[in-house]
Each structure stands twice: as structure tokens, then as C-alpha cells.
Copies of this chain bind each other. A is one copy, B any other.
Amino acid sequence: MKQDSCQVTVIDRKRIELARKQMPGAEVLENVSEVLKLLGDTTRLRILLALATTELCVCDLAALLEMTSSAISHQLRLLRARGIVKYRKEGKIVYYSLDDPQVQSLIKVSMDQIG
């Protein structure tokens, strides 16, 4: 009853094996936690909640959240990188909107369950 791969004592191997079988692969895990981490910031969450209502340009998002458009732009870049939001250019104005239905429903569930 001793010494696993990193000086950790094991109490119940059966339970560990049981839990290990259910555990998703590293890739899935990384994916899920990355999305949840993106949602786990008030600025980004507010951006997404706003965009859930209506498409908005960067400066209106900035006005709504009372932040600089630079700060908003930085966060939008991260959301864009994960395909959570998309944009549409109209002249010099860039309109953002939600682009991932699954993330969208995850947000809704989160608000319903936790908020």
C-alpha cells in the first residue's frame, strides 16, 4: 500500500481505477476548462451576456461596461480565438456577436443554475 508514481500513498486502488475510467482525455479536459476559464471572468461574461441580447460594436460594449475599448478589444480577441464570438465590419465599425450555440447554451445554464 505504498509509493505510486510520485511519493503518494494509495488507500483504495479500486476507487482510483473507477474514477480513472470515467476521466476524459487530456485534450477534452483542456478544451472544456479553457472555455470555462473564458466564461469565468466578469468582463468577458458581461460581454457575452450583452452580445446574447444584441450585436454590438466595440465602443458600445465599452460604454456599456464602462471600460476602455482597448480593454474590450483585448478580451474580444480571446473570445474570437475560441470561436465564441464573430465579427462583421461595417465601414470602420466592427460589430460583434455570438458564434457558438453550445457556449451560448452553457452560459444560459450557468445563469439559471448558479445566478
Binding site for B on A (CB under 8 A): 4-12, 15-16, 18-20, 22-24, 28-42, 45-46, 49-57, 59-60, 62-64, 66-69, 93, 102-103, 105-106, 109-111, 113-115
CB nearest neighbor in B for A50: B19
* A-B contacts, 5 listed (Cβ < 8 Å): A6-B66, A23-B49, A24-B49, A29-B42, A29-B115
CA distance A113 to B39 in the complex (A): 14
CA distance A41 to B30 in the complex (A): 9
CA distance A15 to B29 in the complex (A): 36
Bound CA span A57–B68, Å: 46
Q: Could you say which residues of chain B place their CB within 8 Å of the CB of A67?
A: 6
Contact of B114 with A102 in the complex, beta carbons under 8 Å: yes
Least Cβ–Cβ distance between A115 and chain B, in angstroms: 4
In the complex, which residues of chain B have a beta carbon less than 8 angstroms from the beta carbon of A19? 49-51, 53-54, 56, 64
Q: Given the known inter-chain contacts A8-B62, A8-B68, A22-B49, please indicate yes or no for A110 contacting B16, CB distance below 8 A.
A: no
Q: Determine which of B8, B34, B114 lies in contact with A31 in the assembled complex, contact meaning CB atoms within 8 Å.
A: B114
